Amino acid sequence: MPSPYRAIFAAPGTRSFSVAGFLGRMPLSMMGIGIVTMISQVTGRYGLAGALSATLAMSAAVLGPQISRMVDRHGQRRVLRPATVVALLAAAGLLLCVQFEAADWTLFVFTAFIGCVPSVGAMTRARWADIYRGEAQRLHTAYSWESIVDEVCFIFGPIVSIGLSTIWFPEAGPLLAGVFLAVGVFWLTAQRATEPAPHPHEEHSGGSALRSPGLQVLALAFVATGAIFGSVDVVTVAFAEEQGHKAAASLVLAVYALGSCLAGAVFGLLHVKGEPSVRWLVGVCAMAVSMIPLLLAGNLPLLAVALFVAGLSIAPTMVTTMALVEAHVPRTKLTEGMTWTGTGLAIGVALGSSAAGWVVDASGAEAAYVVPVVSGALAVVVGLLGYRRLREPAPTREGRRDDDTAVGERLDGEQHVA
């Protein structure tokens, strides 16, 4: 492990909560694509599969910030465990409904309750922020590490989920995702020493973290970004099936995540200078442009190459986003603020996967790659229109301590959190 990454794990407890966070995040890459694969295997209806995936994403988008807001007030252990139990029971209900060929509406009901799944990535990032508050370079490396963990999940998650559902039995992918969720969350919440202190007295102070203009821009741009991810997942599975190699979709999507993983690993080693808002906008534009070659990929090998290149811009953009969230959101609402970007992604995934499913059914998989292209263009438009808000210094708000201000000042100095 390169020395900057080794250095951040010198703090006690960091290795354990990072491993637990990895396990708890596996469902992020397994559940949605697992539902798509499961439903398409059982019914052959990509429209229904995409709609269920969209329902899951929309439910998580609505419930996720509320759960994270309660975490900021009451602590991770008290909130995450009951929320996880609800999500697990709902997942069990969905699998039973599929097994016994229940009516479609029952599938939507149980899928909606799976949205109670906590934003484990926000929980681990909040722990890093609490440990290395005021240490800009170490926090930059920690956020880069978290992006690597995210992408490792997206490398192996789809492979495992799609592979099990196509080779073993249709419900296998979502079932294993539930196991990972239970182990990860309960292990993470058992680690009290690194858990950020709750702020119960901030309950009615200042309202939601989303009142921040900068966070509003990031969340809205991530709606379009999420549409890229959601549509690429659904269309790639359908494209692979049209090519006669449906199981290969997991490998192609893993290559997409591998590109992001490698870029994130390198990015974490850099001493980044300049304004994070500029880097963020460049990253969004790069993601948008990288979607265009997907329209020209006529086979799976070319598609894999195009997706690998497209993945190179993801992790650096995500790392910079977390730095901007920390700069624009009070410390007492940091978990909620980080979750709102995930909420934007979840809404986008819902819209993108649903739109992609319908286009696949109507016009075929190859034509459906127009959905991520259009989504990327919308992300660029939002970024350009909101760029000034990201450059404006965040006003001092309740809950922001002196060391928080120091982090914000470093963002505008010579060495930034990225």
Q: Over the stretch 183-194, which tens digit does the pLDDT of each residue have?
A: 999 999 999 888
Whether 257 shows a pLDDT value over 50: the answer reads: yes
The Cβ-side half-sphere exposure at 14, using a 13 Å CA radius, reads 21
Percent of the chain with pLDDT over 70: 90
Look at 349 and 102; give whichever has higher pLDDT.
Answer: 102
Please give the full DSSP string across 340-409, using - where no structure is assigned.
HHHHHHHHHHHHHHHHHHHHHHHH-HHHHTHHHHHHHHHHHHHHHHHHHHHHSPPPP-TT--HHHHHHHH
Quick check: 267 pLDDT over 50?
Answer: yes
pLDDT tens sequence across 229-240: 888 888 888 888
Note the pLDDT of residue 141: 85
Q: How far is CA 372 from CA 227, 293, 377, 379, in A?
A: 7, 11, 9, 10
**Average pLDDT for residues 244-255, to the nearest whole number?**
80
The pLDDT value given to residue 190: 92
- 351-399 pLDDT per residue, tens: 887 788 888 888 888 888 899 999 999 999 999 998 888 776 554 444 4
Count CB neighbours of 47 within 10 A: 17
Task: State residue 380's pLDDT score.
Answer: 94
Residue type, 212: S
Query: By percentage, how much of the chain surpasses pLDDT 90?
Result: 18
pLDDT band at 182 (very low <50, low <70, confident <90, very high): very high
pLDDT in tens, 109-118: 999 998 888 8
Which pLDDT score, from 0 to 100, does residue 119 have? 81
Question: What is the chain's mean pLDDT, rounded?
Answer: 81
Instruction: Reduce the DSSP state of residue 179 to 3 states and report it.
Output: helix
Compute the distance between CA of residue 124 and CA of residue 115 in angstroms, rounded to an integer.
Answer: 19
Local confidence band at 201 (pLDDT 50, 70, 90 cut-offs): low
Assess whether pLDDT exceeds 80 at residue 404: no
Specify the CATH superfamily of domain 14-191+208-395: MFS general substrate transporter like domains (1.20.1250.20)
| Residue ranges of domains in the chain | 14-191+208-395
Helices (H) and strands (E) in the chain, counts: 17, 0
Tell me the C-alpha to C-alpha distance, in Å, between residue 241 and each of 37, 44, 236, 365, 396: 11, 11, 8, 9, 53
13: left (phi over 0), alpha (psi -120 to 50) or beta: left
Q: What pLDDT does residue 405 have?
A: 38
pTM of the model: 0.72
Residue 207 has pLDDT above 80, yes or no: no
Distances in whole angstroms, Cα of residue 137 to Cα of each of 13, 181, 203, 321, 401: 20, 31, 31, 15, 19
- pLDDT at position 413: 41
Residue 151 has pLDDT above 90, yes or no: no
- Whether residue 242 has pLDDT greater than 80: yes
Q: What is the largest CA-CA distance in the chain?
A: 61
- pLDDT at 5 exceeding the cut of 90: no
pLDDT at 226 > cutoff 80: yes
123 or 164, higher pLDDT: 123
Between 8-22, 80-94, 269-283, 307-321, the lowest mean confidence (pLDDT) is in 269-283
Average the pLDDT over 193-215 and give the result: 70
**Which residues have CB under 8 Å from 304's CB, separation 6+?**
251, 252, 255
pLDDT of residue 400: 41
The mean per-residue pLDDT over the stretch 101-105 comes to 84
Q: Report the pLDDT value the prediction gives residue 291, as an integer from 0 to 100.
A: 92
Degrees to nearest 5, angle at CA 111 with 108 and 113: 115
Give the mean model confidence (pLDDT) for residues 48-66.
Answer: 81
Residue listed under structure tokens 């016009």: 363
Confidence band, pLDDT 50/70/90 cuts, at residue 211: confident
Average pLDDT over residues 398-417: 38
